[in-house]
Structure 1
Amino acid sequence: MDLTGTVALVTGGTRGIGLAIAHALHAHGARLVVTGRSEPTGRAALARLDGGADVTFLAADATVRADAERAVDGTVERYGHLDVVVNNVGGATGFAAVAEITDAAWREAFALNLDSALHTTRRALAHLLPQRSGRIVNIASVEGRDPDPGLCAYAAAKHALIGFTRVLAKEVGAYGVTANCVCPGAVETDWFTERGPQAAAAFGTDYPGLVRHFTGRTATGRLTRPDEVAAAVLLLASPAGAGITGASLAVDGGMTV
């Protein structure tokens, strides 16, 4: 899974799962651009990645079309080409049942999890299709395969992202471009601990109860680690993953068995 000579773009790559993915890609030889909304968080990520000129941070909000396109174009300007796109931006803030979900929460979930991937992927294809090679990896979720009550907007958006990826795979396969999803289970990142209490309330429990709920659904009896998600992305981004496209690869400790 040597990525020497490869250029990657990781959206939302400054913390949590995104940072773990960036670390794995860079450790295997890729030069990369990571994006995020916060300049201080981006600078901290660069320090942790310690990649020198081979790692660049661009401040961008992938839910904004102009920002997403600027990130793609900036990657090509910086390193000369683009090979791998990891659409990691996602999440939700409105945890509620269908009867209670607000229009704003619904729109935000789709902006974060689906629109961001569309904006970035569409621009990236302008570079990937002419060179007749490339890898697109979208970070979906276990909730896009086996959803929980109380997460209707997030689950719907992740289901849509998986469908988007499957269509994309059929459209670009003849051009040497693969498109896949990685579907993590519950991963205890800083985002998870920050938003967990709000999600727990939608489940009618507290944060420890939420953790017990997710671990209870697994075969392993524990939450998934960010580096385990990154390992799946590394496979799909590498030459070894050339035969995999249109897949939604679960990295969830057996939650969806």
Structure 2
Amino acid sequence: MKQRIAIVTGAGSGIGQGIAYALVEAGYRVYATDISEARLASTKAAASSADDLLTRVLDVSDWAAVERVVADVVEHEGALDVMVNSAGVFDGYADVLETTPELWQRVIDVNLSGTFYGCRAAAQVMVKQGHGRIITIGSVAGQRGAADGLSYVASKAGIEGMHRRLAVDVAAHGVTANVVAPGVIKTNLRATSEELLGDLVADQNRGIGVSPDIWNFLIPTRRPGEVHEIASVVVFLASPQASYVNGQVIQVDGGWNAV
């Protein structure tokens, strides 16, 4: 069988990096993309198979750049089987008064528009070839207003609505579209977001993700999740076994949504 091809955005760290590694372990040839060349170099250096993990620098908020990377992968590989939209930034739990128009625009540009660009570029290919999987990393914030800051919550809620419509558009062409919505996960998202957002965010160290007391109250498992616990769900959704899963938001949150 021909090796399956995947693109993962935001693969320089955190959940995106874990997904890239998990897909390589599952036998995929993975194109890991990120806005940071240095983070991509670290991702590649730690891959179990450097031959099956290739890197591309990509700013997902740039439509032309996203379309170009997808086109280059398809030209080189002949197909695109899986598109994982994982790139995102966190707004430091900023409320409506702390969310400046500049912060709002940057978070929406990366989290929501960047996801749309990835979905559209992948759909252009997958609809034509007659198969594919589009998987996006959402958040528990997509359904819970108190989970994160205003712009982050809005972006993740938008992702859920987008994928419900996307699933309708692509299903007849052998393509599925789903969202994986993590709860509190141990990553360095705050640090990478601080690097990208700079002084647009006053404080990246607030909110549910930094308070064990709140974890114990809200999360039945009483712990944050691990990256591999998100990546394993993505690998399933990418697989042939998930061919009838479409238009879903799969919560991977330790039971937070059940409380």
Is the TM value for this pair above 0.5? yes
Counterpart AA for 2:172: A
SS of structure 2 residue aligned to 1:188: coil
Q: Using the alignment, how far apart are the partners of 1:195 and 1:56 within structure 2?
A: 24
Deviation string 1:210-242 (CA, Å, 9 cap, x unpaired) is 343244311100001000000111111111111
Counterpart AA for 1:230: A
| Aligned residue runs from structure 1 range 44-63, under 5 A | 44-63=42-61
Q: Is the 8 A contact 2:141 2:148 kept in 1?
A: no
SS of structure 2 residue aligned to 1:198: coil
Q: Using the alignment, how far apart are the partners of 2:134 and 2:7 within structure 1?
A: 10
* Aligned counterpart in structure 1 of residue 203 of structure 2, from 186, 198, 209: 198
SS of structure 2 residue aligned to 1:49: coil
CA shift at 1:122, angstroms?
1.0
- Is 1:228 the counterpart of 2:229? The answer is yes
Describe the shift of the 1:4–1:49 C-alpha distance in structure 2 as closer, same or farther (beyond 3 A): farther
Provide TM-score, normalisation by structure 1: 0.91
SS of structure 2 residue aligned to 1:256: helix
* Aligned counterpart in structure 1 of residue 20 of structure 2, from 19, 22, 35: 22
Q: Is the 8 A contact 1:178 1:242 kept in 2?
A: yes
* Aligned counterpart in structure 2 of residue 87 of structure 1, from 79, 85, 88: 85
CA shift at 1:200, angstroms?
4.0
Describe the shift of the 1:150–1:50 C-alpha distance in structure 2 as closer, same or farther (beyond 3 A): closer
| Aligned residue runs from structure 1 range 155-174, under 5 A | 155-174=153-172
Q: Using the alignment, how far apart are the partners of 1:53 and 1:78 within structure 2?
A: 14
* Aligned counterpart in structure 1 of residue 180 of structure 2, from 172, 182, 187: 182
Q: Which runs of 5+ in 1 are unaligned?
A: none
SS of structure 1 residue aligned to 2:90: coil
Q: Using the alignment, how far apart are the partners of 1:78 and 1:213 within structure 2?
A: 48
SS of structure 1 residue aligned to 2:66: helix
In the other structure, the counterpart of 2:104 is 106
Q: Is the 8 A contact 1:215 1:223 kept in 2?
A: no
| Aligned residue runs from structure 1 range 129-144, under 5 A | 129-144=127-142
| Aligned residue runs from structure 1 range 206-225, under 5 A | 208=210, 210-225=211-226
Q: Using the alignment, how far apart are the partners of 1:175 and 1:25 within structure 2?
A: 23
CA shift at 1:99, angstroms?
3.3
* Aligned counterpart in structure 2 of residue 77 of structure 1, from 61, 75, 78: 75
Deviation string 1:83-125 (CA, Å, 9 cap, x unpaired) is 1000001122353212332111111121111111111221111
Q: CA RMSD in A?
A: 2.1
CA shift at 1:198, angstroms?
2.4
Provide TM-score, normalisation by structure 2: 0.90
Q: Which runs of 5+ in 2 are unaligned?
A: 195-201
Q: Using the alignment, how far apart are the partners of 2:27 and 2:222 within structure 1?
A: 33
Counterpart AA for 2:6: A
In the other structure, the counterpart of 1:5 is 3
Q: Using the alignment, how far apart are the partners of 2:4 and 2:84 within structure 1?
A: 13
Q: Is the 8 A contact 1:165 1:246 kept in 2?
A: yes
Counterpart AA for 1:39: E
Counterpart AA for 1:217: L
Counterpart AA for 2:256: M
- Is 1:249 the counterpart of 2:250? The answer is yes
Q: Using the alignment, how far apart are the partners of 2:205 and 2:60 within structure 1?
A: 27
In the other structure, the counterpart of 1:117 is 115
SS of structure 1 residue aligned to 2:117: helix
Q: Using the alignment, how far apart are the partners of 2:148 and 2:185 within structure 1?
A: 18
Identity over aligned pairs, percent: 33
